[in-house]
Amino acid sequence: MRIGLFDSGVGGLTVFKKVVELCPNTSFIYLADTARLPYGEKTSNEIRQIAEEISSWFRYQSIDGFLVACNTTNAIALDVIKNTLDVPVFDLIESVSSTIKSSRVGVLATSSTVKTKAYTNAIVNSNPAAFVIEQSCPEFVPMIEMDDINSTMITDIAIGYLKPLLKQKIESLILGCSHYPLITPLLTELLPSSVKLIDPAEALSLQLKLFMDSRKSNFGKGKFLVDSKFCVTADPKNFSIRAKHWLNVFPEVNLVSLQKKGCVS
């Protein structure tokens, strides 16, 4: 029994890590669509097409549950994924939005996610008094993928992105792109201590844990990384090197074609 998850690149590893913390001994199949990275500046049509291809590929992977570890696809094409897969689908935006208690909320996300206002709509839906301000951060994903996360340049860019949110006196800040937890130290340094950083992967992990507890007889057979599979659509070596940075081991990475159906053994 295994859980599928995907992202455009290494960002989904932040979700993977959180989920593994809460649900150890589970096997996962992680797909990084590195050939088409970044997603955040693509059109809705492109994202919906990608979501269809990815979820169709996952139909052949013998999964029992699916995590949308990419906020951009979550915001634009969750319906496509749910319609294509016939297993329970867990998503970041819905999972975290219902847990937000603050009344002034900032969201950092990709341009495509911000355009949809998916975070604002979901938060206000469960907390109508909330004020939500969303900020797109087009420069972050390419820099994070290049491991350029300690430069003066990314610091200056982050200061610029945070400025309008801080002006609005936000109380909490949602990391609305799964790549952004990889720059948590930088963001923490730039934010006043009164602003609470929220990683949606925590709420998503809780949802998965509840699901697994309800099906306990079928889960808990895997071992961290040993029984998990990592797949990419381009450059497996680079992904393995980048993943080592966050997972502390070089995972074995398979190059896959989404057109080729069939289970990754």
Which H or E run includes 116?
A: helix 111-116
Output the residue with the shortest Cβ distance to ligand DGL. 40
What's the CA gap between 28 and 63, in Å, rounded?
8
Does 141 bind ligand DGL (CB under 6 A)? Our answer is: yes
Rounded to the nearest 5 degrees, what angle is found at the Cα of 77, between the Cα atoms of 44 and 258? 95
Q: How far is the CB of 214 from ligand DGL (least distance, A)?
A: 27
Q: Binding residues for ligand DGL, how many (CB under 6 A)? A: 16
Q: Is 158 in the site for ligand DGL (CB under 6 A)?
A: no
CA-angle at 240, arms to 5 and 181, nearest 5° = 55
Element holding 100 (H helix, E strand): none
Instruction: Decide if 231 is catalytic.
Output: no
Closest CA to 70 of 134, 118, 23: 118
* Cα–Cα nearest to 65, from 24, 13, 22, 27: 27
Q: How many residues does the chain have?
A: 265
72 binds ligand DGL (CB under 6 A): yes
Q: Is 7 in the site for ligand DGL (CB under 6 A)?
A: yes
Amino acid letter at 41? E
Catalytic residue among 23, 137, 177, 231: 177
Among 4, 38, 181, 222, contact with ligand DGL (rule: CB under 6 A): 38
Question: Which segment (7-15, 19-27, 210-218, 256-264) binds ligand DGL by CB under 6 A?
Answer: 7-15
The answer to whether 242 contacts ligand DGL (rule: CB under 6 A) is no
| 37: helix, strand or coil | coil
Out of 5, 31, 37, 173, the residue judged to bind ligand DGL by CB under 6 A: 37
| Among the residue ranges 114-122, 176-184, 187-195, 228-236, the one whose residues contact ligand DGL (CB under 6 A) | 176-184
Is 232 an interacting residue with respect to ligand DGL (CB under 6 A)?
A: no
Q: What is the number of other CB atoms lying within 10 angstroms of the CB of residue 201?
A: 25
Contact 94, 56 (CB under 8 A): no
Say whether residue 135 binds ligand DGL (CB under 6 A): no
Segment interacting with ligand DGL, rule: CB under 6 A, options 4-12, 52-60, 93-101, 208-216: 4-12
State the nearest-atom distance from the C-beta of 171 to ligand DGL, in Å. Answer: 23
Is 54 a binder of ligand DGL (CB under 6 A)? no
Which residue type occupies 218? N
What span, in angstroms and rounded, lies between the C-alpha atoms of 243 and 245? 5
> Which H or E run includes 145?
helix 140-145
Among 3, 54, 63, 70, binds ligand DGL (CB under 6 A): 70
Annotation says 70 is catalytic: yes
Q: Which residues bind ligand DGL (CB under 6 A)?
A: 7-8, 11, 37-40, 70-72, 110, 113, 141, 177-179
Active-site annotation, residues: 70, 177
